[in-house]
Each structure stands twice: as structure tokens, then as C-alpha cells.
Chain A
Amino acid sequence: MKVNIAACITEPGSSERNKTGGWRVFKPVVHQERCIDCGSCWIFCPEACISRKEGRYEVDLDFCKGCGICANECPTEAIEMVLEEK
């Protein structure tokens, strides 16, 4: 894809194409059996990359930068940060 002149962004929402998950060192792993469906991880994620699907919380690893806020906020320690090997 050719970069626009002066790197101008000419359409809204194009940042979704810029996958930033590669910055991550630790990735969140959700232990569903400890999850109480409080939604704290979903609320606190600064990248809005946690979504709720049929009562389960999933992380979009294309955009999760591994900051660990979700794991820190989870009241039941249902999210574990695991060193990612690439």
C-alpha cells in the first residue's frame, strides 16, 4: 500500500489497519472458570480491544499491547499475563 503524500490520513477509521499487537511482550490469557462477568477488563482496556461474546471475554491480539491493566483490575485474578514467545 502506497503511503499518502505527507502521510495524510484521508479516511476515518484507517488506524484499524495499523496493527499494533507486535509491540507486546506479555499477553493476557483469560481463565474463563474464574470470570464473574463483571466487565472490569472491558471497561478499563485503554485500547478497547477486549470484547464480550456470549458471556466470555476475548482479547483482540492484533491490537493488545500487553499493558496488563485488565489483569490488574480483574477482581478474581481471572486474567494472567504470560510471556509471549514469537
Chain B
Amino acid sequence: MPHRDVMHGSRAVAEAVRLCDVKVVAAYPITPQTHIVEDIAEMVANGELDAEYIMVESEHSAMSACIGASATGARSFTATASQGLALMHEVLWIASGLRLPIVMVNANRALSAPINIWNDQSDSIAERDSGWIQIYVETAQEALDSVIQAYRIAEDAEVLLPAMVCMDGFVLTHTVEPVEVPDREQVREYLPELRMPHTLDPENPITMGSLGDPNYYMECRKQQELAMERALEVARRADEEFRRVFGRGYGVVEEYNMEDAEVVLVTMGSVAGTIKDTIDMLGDESVGLLRLRLFRPFPKEAVRRALANAKVVNVIEKDVSIGMGEGALMTELKSVLYGSDIKVLGTVAGLGGRDITTGHIRQAVERAQRALRGERVDEVAWAGLKEEAV
């Protein structure tokens, strides 16, 4: 039976890994992810999860072990954050190039230097081109549900790509929320056993990771791109089916107060909660929120549809592409909306764990409203920046 409990977001992820009958977990500790793999280690030690738990010497090795395990057809999991994800960078491309449906949770944390353990999303956004599916979640419940959905999407025969579930470090990993833990049998029904068309099997030997010279390499990349495009529809269906089985779903994008919205805030992750509260406090039908849950594959059509009646968009994001002067989501949104009359503004916020307050959200709304009235406004603003300290 499903049961409700209060738990850390990290515990919710560990529960999801248990429910998914993951066979191999390879992990290296890093704040703010450590709770996740600690809880999984406890589950394995207590016999609640029948998995190989591999202690490794680095995140590079953690991902490499997951690649080896996944290549044998074993459902594999790891979790990381920040410098750990950066250390995995080269192996991330091997996991996606080998088309291995590994699922990883990234507890979003700022990158050094200066050393900072707090939350922003620069780490996973820097890996946007690595061929991994990326899901950004708002709550602990959604983190749990998204890990289950991520396996279903990644392992689909039409997809076979690794998937990263990105949850804001501390904001979600270290806060306690009520979470419904689904029934194990229901999860088994939703998530069938992993069947891959390519596995390392002594009975049917194959070579994986061979040379792909200029005659073959481009075709492999195009196959990945096509699989990623198919993943969009698979993700939509996986969420619908999830709603049918478990009674809740999220969509590939979430719309809030969008019916009559002319000003739309666009974001990913937990700050959507603060934005929804701010919109409720404003009580203004002309202000809405579009939360992207999928960042890779980018849900272009869903975004265009959701913004069909919008006039001004303000992208609030916890990353900045240094040298571009704006966040990656803003750049991509402009690309998706190219040719439309929608004005796109950006707000760089929450870097290195700086609080994002309802006041910052109101400022973002007001700037968009001024633009709507035809006033000149800054295209990009840094919320809560201490100008005198720069």
C-alpha cells in the first residue's frame, strides 16, 4: 500500500531507488547529495534493496561503474552534485553515446571557485549538451516520482538514453516535506524489467565502445538526437501513465495562472513554489508562471503553445553563461520564440545559494510590466545583487 510520511527530499529519492529495484548503485559522497546514497547504503545493508553497492574513489569512477553495470543490462543509479558532476563530465558523454539508461540524481549546487556548497543550477545546465535527459523538479514528491518516471523514459526501447533528475540542493534535499511513497507492486507494474537490445552477454558476445571513425560518428550522433526527440513524447506518455497509476502527474511543462497571462515568468526547479506564492499574493490574472520540467529534450512546442498569448516573458534562472550576460534558459527561450513578438527578459537569481524572495519575484514581474507598457527596461537583471560590493 502507498503510505504518507514526512521526510527529507534526499530520503524521498532513496525510496524511489528502492521502489525501482535498482541493481547497481555506485556512489561517492558530495554535499548536498550525500544523504541520498547514505540512505540507499542503509537500505542495501538492511536487506530492503537487493543491489550491488559499489564504493568508488571519485565521481568519475562512480559514473564509470554505472556504465559498466548498465552495459550488462543492470538497472543502475548514482547521485552527485557540482564538482562531482563536473568530474563526471567526460564519462557522461560515454554513457549517452553508449545509449545506457542510467538514472542519476543531481542535487544542484554551485561550482567553485569560490568554494560554495549552496544551491544554484550552473552544474547541470553546463551538461546540457552531454546527451542526457534532464528533468528539473519542484518538490520532494516530484523528485521521488521523477526518478521512477526517469527509468521508464530512459529504458523505453524508443529512447535508451541516460537521465538526470535535477533537484535543488538543500532547498529540496535537506528540507522535510510530506511525501507519498508508492506501493512497490504498483511501481513494478509501471516500470517493467529492463530489456536492452545491446548488452554484454558471454552467450552473445558484442563489442561496445569501439572506434567510430569519420565514416560512422555523425550517424551515431544523429541517432542520439532522434532518440532525444522521441524521448519528448515518451516522457509525456510516461507522465500520463504515471497519473493513471498513482493519481498525480506533472506534464513536461507546468502552467500556473496562465489563462489570461500577458506577463509570464519562466523557470525550472523549486523556485517555482516561491513564484506561485507571489502570484497568489499579487492576485493578478495577467501574471502567470511556466515551469519547464524537461530541459532536455527541450519541450519547444509545449513552450510555444503555453506562451501563445503572452506579451512579455521574464526568465528567472539560477545560472549565468559568463560572457553571454544571461542564463542559458533565456538564450534557449529566445531561440524557441524566434520570429514571435514576445519580448524576452531575464533574471539571474539565487547564484551560490542567494535567497530568492517574493520581493525579487515582484521586481521581476514589475520590470516585465514596464516593458509591456513600452518603457525601456534592462534586458537582464541580477536579483538581490549587492551592487556596491561588485
Contact surface of A with B, Cβ cutoff 8 Å:
3-10, 12, 18
Contact = CB atoms under 8 A, between A and B. Distances in A.
Nearest to A23: B213
Chief secondary structure at chain A's binding surface:
loop
Contacts of A3: 216, 219-220, 223
A16 B161 CA distance: 30
A8 to B, nearest CB: 5
Interface residues of B, number: 19
Given A9-B206, A10-B206, A4 B198 contact: yes
A7 B210 contact: yes
A7 B220 contact: yes
28 contacts: A3-B216, A3-B219, A3-B223, A4-B198, A5-B99, A5-B160, A5-B197, A5-B198, A5-B223, A6-B97, A6-B98, A6-B100, A6-B198, A6-B208, A6-B220, A7-B212, A7-B220, A8-B198, A8-B206, A8-B210, A9-B206, A9-B207, A9-B210, A10-B198, A10-B206, A12-B205, A18-B213, A18-B215
Contacts of A18: 213, 215
Interface of B: 97-100, 160, 197-198, 205-208, 210, 212-213, 215-216, 219-220, 223
A31 B261 CA distance: 84
A36 B330 CA distance: 74
A1 to B, nearest CB: 10
Q: Top 7 A-B pairs ranked by shortest CB distance? A: A9-B207, A6-B99, A3-B219, A6-B98, A7-B212, A8-B198, A10-B206
Name which of A3, A5, A7, A12 has the most chain B CB atoms within 10 A of its CB: A7
Chief secondary structure at chain B's binding surface:
loop
Contacts of B215: 18
Nearest to A2: B219
A54 B384 CA distance: 85
B207 A8 contact: yes
A47 to B, nearest CB: 15
A46 to B, nearest CB: 16
